[in-house]
Amino acid sequence: MNEIGTYVRTDDHGVLRVGGTHVMLDSVVAAFQQGYSAETIRQQFPSLRLEEVYGAITYYLSHAEELRAYLQRQDGVWQQELDLAEGQPNAVAQRLRATQHARAA
């Protein structure tokens, strides 16, 4: 049987991951906060076992105060990446957007 600490680990970049996977704790927490069940979250992330999803949720619930700052920092990182991507769209994305606009017109 795993202890709760083994359900969440910190990778080399300081990102919290679930179990031995690349799934970020942020993703599991976001789905949980949106009201998804552990079983639905498991379907969204097939590399996770149901036990790991429950373990990650339990970890989040038992460390909510200390994770608040981490999750806010991660939101900031995501926003920076989105801003960067929107400022420098690649050629494929530009063609897809142009096609969508043409179809809508």
pTM of the complete model: 0.72
Mean pLDDT by 10 residues, the chain (105 residues): 69 92 96 97 97 96 92 88 79 84 86
Per-residue model confidence as pLDDT tens digits over 80-91: 888 887 777 778
- Residues 45 and 57: beta-carbon distance below 8 Å: no
Q: Quote the CA–CA distance of 20 and 29 in Å, as a whole number.
A: 17
In the chain the domains, ranked by start, together with CATH numbers, are 4-77 (1.10.10.10)
User: What is the Cα–Cα distance from 75 to 79, expressed in whole angstroms?
Assistant: 6
Residues 6+ apart with CB under 8 A from 44: 31, 36
